[in-house]
Structure formats: C-alpha cells, structure tokens
Amino acid sequence: MLKKLLPIIIILFLSSSCGFEPKYRGFKGVDFVLKLQKSSGDRELNNAIKSQLSRYDEDKDDYDIIKLDLDSKFEKISISKNSKGEITRYNLRAEISLKITTDKEQRNVFFIEEFKIDKISDTVEENNYIQIVKKDFAQSVVRRLILDLRKNK
C-alpha cells in the first residue's frame, strides 16, 4: 500500500511546489484602462485585437484611462513560385498603428508582425490558418502594447 502511494505523493509534492509562474502571465499590476475609440483597416485583425484589448477595458475609479485609435493593414505577399509559375510560399504581414491618448500625452506606436507560410492546396484550410495567424498577431501586438505602456508610465 505504501509503495503505491509514495510515488503519487512525491509527484504531487514536486509538481505543486515548484513555484513556477510565467513572467507575463495576466500582466499583474496593470493600473490603467484601455478604451478603443476608433478602428480602421483589416476587419478580422481589428476584431482579434479588440478581443484581446477587452481584458483591459474594466472601468475602475482609480485607474488611468488610455484611449486608443487603431489602424491596421494585412497583406498576403507571394515570395516564391515553382517552375510552373504557381505560388508556393507566402509572407503574411500585419502593420498595426496605434494612437495612444492619455491625460498627459499623445503618441503613436507602430507594430509590424510577419510570418511565412507554405501554400496549402485546400483554400478553406489555408484561410482558417490565416485567421489563426491573425489572432496570434493580435495577441502579440497587445502584449507588446501593454509592455510599452507599463515601461513608459
């Protein structure tokens, strides 16, 4: 009986007591509220960014309110072709411009995200994959924005 319980107890002890926590998990200590005022550009990318920003849109009395204007551009650029002239590889590029307005200042930040993909023969599957890449771009941009805002505060 003890031989069966001992490995389980050891595994539980080691896994729960390691103390690991991701460095930027949840961005604890964020003391501002982000309000998206305007958005223009690629609709899918903008919606993904809005979804990511919604985590920081809770009204709190003692928090600073930061207003954002979003402009995005998404391109699917062919970068290689085979001997028949058919496209075999794409570069997905997103350019996101954010106008940040606070009580103290107004400034612009610009983010560029790129990702290279091989052409997928099934267009539906390729479009689904591109939507996933856009969501990843949005997540990365919002993380970088939060880090920038915390640094410049």
The yes-or-no verdict on residue 74 having pLDDT over 60 is yes
Name the pLDDT band for 152 (thresholds 50, 70, 90): confident
pLDDT of 134: 95
Q: Strand, helix or coil at 3?
A: helix
**C-alpha distance from residue 7 to each of 10, 15, 17, 18, 20 (Å):** 5, 12, 15, 17, 21
CB 30 within 8 A of CB 142: no
Domains and CATH numbers, the chain: 27-151 (3.30.160.150)
Residues 92-146 pLDDT 10s:
999 999 999 988 889 999 999 999 999 988 999 999 999 999 999 999 999 999 9
Least-confidence region, from 3-12, 48-57, 61-70: 3-12
Name the pLDDT band for 65 (thresholds 50, 70, 90): confident
What is the reported pTM?
A: 0.78
Which phi and psi angles does 152 have, rounded to 5°? -90, 10
The C-alpha atoms of residue 151 and residue 141 are separated, in whole angstroms, by 15
Average pLDDT, the chain: 85
Mean pLDDT value of segment 82-98: 93
